[in-house]
Amino acid sequence: MDTIKAICECKNMDEGNTVLAVKQGRFAFIGKWGFFTWLMVIILVLATGALWIGAIIGWHLGDIFNPKYHCNQCEAVVPHKQFRA
Protein backbone atom coordinates (compact mmCIF):
# COMPACT_ATOMS: atom_id res chain seq x y z
CA MET A 1 0.00 0.00 0.00
CA ASP A 2 1.48 3.30 -1.10
CA THR A 3 0.66 6.32 1.08
CA ILE A 4 1.66 9.97 1.09
CA LYS A 5 0.79 13.01 3.23
CA ALA A 6 -1.68 15.39 1.59
CA ILE A 7 -4.21 18.10 2.28
CA CYS A 8 -7.88 17.45 1.61
CA GLU A 9 -11.17 19.32 1.42
CA CYS A 10 -12.54 17.30 4.35
CA LYS A 11 -9.98 19.08 6.56
CA ASN A 12 -10.60 22.47 4.87
CA MET A 13 -7.28 22.29 2.96
CA ASP A 14 -5.46 23.06 6.22
CA GLU A 15 -1.68 22.68 5.91
CA GLY A 16 -1.40 21.84 9.62
CA ASN A 17 -4.07 19.14 9.50
CA THR A 18 -2.93 16.70 6.80
CA VAL A 19 -4.43 13.35 5.82
CA LEU A 20 -2.97 10.23 4.26
CA ALA A 21 -3.53 9.77 0.55
CA VAL A 22 -3.69 6.03 -0.15
CA LYS A 23 -2.94 4.73 -3.63
CA GLN A 24 -5.81 2.65 -4.98
CA GLY A 25 -4.99 -0.81 -6.32
CA ARG A 26 -5.09 -1.46 -10.06
CA PHE A 27 -8.31 -3.49 -9.94
CA ALA A 28 -9.87 -1.89 -6.84
CA PHE A 29 -12.96 -0.91 -8.83
CA ILE A 30 -14.00 -4.58 -8.82
CA GLY A 31 -14.17 -4.55 -5.01
CA LYS A 32 -16.82 -1.82 -5.16
CA TRP A 33 -19.19 -3.92 -7.27
CA GLY A 34 -22.35 -5.12 -5.61
CA PHE A 35 -24.43 -8.24 -6.20
CA PHE A 36 -26.40 -6.90 -9.18
CA THR A 37 -23.27 -5.61 -10.92
CA TRP A 38 -21.65 -9.03 -10.59
CA LEU A 39 -24.84 -10.69 -11.81
CA MET A 40 -24.98 -8.45 -14.90
CA VAL A 41 -21.28 -8.97 -15.64
CA ILE A 42 -21.69 -12.76 -15.47
CA ILE A 43 -24.78 -12.69 -17.69
CA LEU A 44 -23.16 -10.37 -20.23
CA VAL A 45 -19.91 -12.37 -20.29
CA LEU A 46 -21.87 -15.56 -20.99
CA ALA A 47 -24.06 -13.85 -23.60
CA THR A 48 -21.25 -12.12 -25.51
CA GLY A 49 -18.50 -14.70 -25.25
CA ALA A 50 -16.27 -12.64 -22.93
CA LEU A 51 -16.39 -9.55 -25.17
CA TRP A 52 -17.84 -7.70 -22.18
CA ILE A 53 -14.58 -8.24 -20.20
CA GLY A 54 -12.76 -6.19 -22.85
CA ALA A 55 -15.33 -3.41 -22.50
CA ILE A 56 -14.90 -3.34 -18.70
CA ILE A 57 -11.11 -3.25 -18.94
CA GLY A 58 -11.29 -0.56 -21.65
CA TRP A 59 -13.62 1.56 -19.50
CA HIS A 60 -11.23 1.34 -16.50
CA LEU A 61 -7.95 1.52 -18.43
CA GLY A 62 -6.97 4.78 -16.72
CA ASP A 63 -7.53 3.25 -13.27
CA ILE A 64 -5.50 0.16 -14.19
CA PHE A 65 -2.42 1.94 -15.55
CA ASN A 66 -2.57 5.09 -13.39
CA PRO A 67 -4.27 4.32 -10.05
CA LYS A 68 -5.61 7.31 -8.14
CA TYR A 69 -4.88 8.36 -4.57
CA HIS A 70 -7.82 8.57 -2.16
CA CYS A 71 -8.13 10.39 1.18
CA ASN A 72 -8.11 8.02 4.15
CA GLN A 73 -10.76 10.16 5.89
CA CYS A 74 -13.40 10.88 3.23
CA GLU A 75 -12.40 8.62 0.26
CA ALA A 76 -12.23 11.62 -2.11
CA VAL A 77 -9.72 11.55 -4.97
CA VAL A 78 -6.60 13.55 -4.03
CA PRO A 79 -4.85 15.28 -6.95
CA HIS A 80 -1.03 15.37 -7.05
CA LYS A 81 -0.96 19.13 -6.39
CA GLN A 82 -2.33 18.47 -2.87
CA PHE A 83 0.54 16.13 -1.87
CA ARG A 84 2.87 17.34 0.87
CA ALA A 85 6.31 16.00 1.73
Q: Do residues 74 and 61 share a domain?
A: no
Q: Provide the domain count of the chain.
A: 2
Those residues with Cβ within 8 angstroms of residue 15's Cβ, 6 or more apart along the chain or in another chain: 7, 84
The pLDDT tens digits of the residues spanning 17-68 come to: 899 999 988 898 898 899 999 999 999 999 988 888 888 999 999 888 989 9
Q: Do residues 61 and 72 share a domain?
A: no
**Angle at CA 76, nearest 5°, toward 34 and 20?**
115
Q: What distance lies between CA 61 and its chain's CA centroid?
A: 12
Q: Do residues 60 and 47 share a domain?
A: yes
Full residue range of the structural domain in which residue 18 is found: 1-24+68-85
pTM (2 decimals)? 0.69
Q: Do residues 36 and 49 share a domain?
A: yes
